[in-house]
Structure 1
Amino acid sequence: MKKQSLLFFTLFSTALFAQEKNFIDQPFIETAAKVDTLVSPDRIYLTIILSEKDSKNKISVEELENKMASKLTSLGIDLKKQLSMQDLASNFKKYFLKQQDIVKAKSYSLLVYDAQTASKVIVGLENESISNVYLDRTEYSKLEELKLDLKSKAILKAKTIAKAMTEPIGQKVGSAIYISDHTTSNYGLAGAAPGIVVRGMSKMKVNETYQPLDIEFDKINVEASVNAKFKIE
């Protein structure tokens, strides 16, 4: 049994060595290419925290909930699709536990699709005595399709570079014999902003014309990079 295992290992190693040798013996050119682009986020997540503490315990969380729901509905927000309750456990100690003072509170996540709507939400809720509105994160909904498109452009760019390097010396680039994808997956980090808080804005006066806040979110950088080896013919 041991002899058979040793024979199999020897044959397997020999086959790998032969493949590697054949690969190295071929004339080839190796290139690397990277392409990137910036996209505006189209999924903006806001965290809304309702706390009796903010109104000095004059307004209950239930009343704040009703005010929030009414205001968001008036702004065209689909509450069933765009609003969800968060687990407050992670935020409880940070925001609402002051020595022995335990404050009744609720936390919601709101999804909006553009910066203008986000600004309307922030101003509208502020005027309903709801000022704890945080930008949680931003995303781009068609990220996967964009990544594939960039990878296609990156490999074409790699071949173009190979041609530019071989044509001056009278040689041609053949088929690819090796392609390696070095694309990273941390795309949305550029749009993440968990520490941003908007609070303390002045309320609008009666009959005052609403002007959206001039909010603009950072664009998300998406990139793809490849290494490739092409035959030289």
Structure 2
Amino acid sequence: MIKLRLFVVAIAVFIGHIVSGQTLIAQEEKPHIDVVGTAEMEIVPDEIYLSIIIKERYEGKEKIDVESQEVQLRNSLKEIGVNLNNFYLSDANADFVKIKWRTKDLLSQKDYTLKVDGATTVGKVFMQLDKLKIYDASIWKVYHSKMDSLKKETNIKAIKAAKEKADYLLSALGEQTGKVIWVNDSGASLSPVLYANSNERLDLSYGKFKNDELQFQKIKISASIQVKFYIK
């Protein structure tokens, strides 16, 4: 009697596995469509980071130290409306670095970063640098202050594009888009816009900015999202 009960239970379990397997197969074989939606957005950077290196130098026999040049630069930046909180040492622990400068004397330098909000301000800054004879400066990178929200907006456009693609493809077959099965978001990506390591270093001559308006490469945000829908 015990053996018979065990045999019945074993059959029930086996049948249960068969039914479960058939259910899974049925789910996997249910008609679906797999599409990829893409979106792009180009934005004008509103955060421009400049790399500025102030070095000790000689004018005739007079040595112009870093401290006096820094004071002059800070005053010049303040005159053109630059927030001095955005002018800081590139390294929080930066200190004088000994380098050689045209002569055998050991001279010092300081590396700074300056963040400004547009091309017009960049031009003004470089004009001041030119007047102060601070020539070792370049655009380091550009960015946008609302980058996170712009990435989200691009992702939303990409997933809507996926739904629109599924709709028109299925409508051509007389079918309709059903519920979402899954979404694969590869994440929004940015086209790199780096200047310090490229050939796009700016000429610091005054004439460069006197009549010409600076133009910056736009930042491109791209998104690609794969979505699988059931077919009704």
TM-score normalised by structure 1 residue count: 0.78
After superposition, residues 187-198 of structure 1 pair within 5 angstroms as 187=190, 189-195=191-197, 196-198=200-202
Q: Which residue of 2 aligns with 1:84?
A: 88
Q: Work out the CA distance in 2 between the residues paired with 1:163 and 1:199.
A: 52
Shifted more, 27-36 versus 102-111: the winner is 102-111
| Residue in 1 that maps onto 2:68 | 63
Counterpart for residue 25 of structure 1? 29
Q: Which residue of 2 aligns with 1:10?
A: none
Aligned partner of 2:217 in structure 1 is 218
What amino acid does structure 2 have at the position aligned with 1:179? V
Aligned length: 209
**Residue of structure 1 equivalent to 2:121:** 117
Is 1:128 aligned to residue 132 of structure 2? yes
Counterpart contact for 1:126–1:203, Cα < 8 Å: no
SS in 2 for 1:190: coil
Given the alignment of the two structures, is residue 72 of structure 1 paired with residue 77 of structure 2, yes or no? yes
Letter in 2 for 1:42: D
Going from structure 1 to structure 2, the CA distance change for 1:202 and 1:44 (only over 3 Å counts) comes to closer
* 49-58 or 34-43, larger mean C-alpha shift: 49-58
- Which structure shows the higher helix fraction? 1
Measured at CA, do residues 183 and 91 of structure 1 come closer, stay the same or move farther in structure 2, by a change above 3 Å? farther
Partner Cα distance (2:121, 2:107) in 1 = 30
**Equivalent of 1:52 in 33, 50, 56:** 56
Opposite residue 190 of structure 1, the aligned amino acid is P
Spell out, residue by residue over 1:64-114, the C-alpha distance to the aligned partner (whole angstroms, 9 max, x if none): 1111011000010111x2111123879958xx3479753211111100000
Question: Matches of residues 155-166 of structure 1 in structure 2 within 5 Å?
Answer: 155-166=159-170
Q: Which runs of 5+ in 1 are unaligned?
A: 1-13, 205-209
What corresponds to 1:143 in structure 2?
A: 147
Give the deviation of 1:217 after TM superposition. Answer: 1.1
Gaps of 5+ in 2: 1-17
Tell me which amino acid in the other structure corresponds to 1:216.
Q
For the residue of structure 2 that corresponds to 1:161, the secondary structure is: helix
Measured on the aligned residues, the alpha-carbon RMSD in Å equals: 3.1
Query: Is 129-138 or 82-91 further displaced after alignment?
Result: 82-91
1-side partners of 2:105 and 2:193: how far apart? 35
Q: Give the residue type in structure 1 aligned to 2:79.
A: S
Secondary structure at the residue paired with 1:130? Answer: coil
Residue number in structure 1 paired with 2:176: 172
The structural deviation recorded for 1:18 is 8.0
Q: Is 1:191–1:217's contact at 8 Å kept on the other side of the alignment?
A: no
* Amino acid corresponding to residue 115 of structure 2 in structure 1: L
Query: Identity over the aligned pairs, expressed in percent?
Result: 26
CA change 1:19–1:50 in 2 (3 A) is: farther
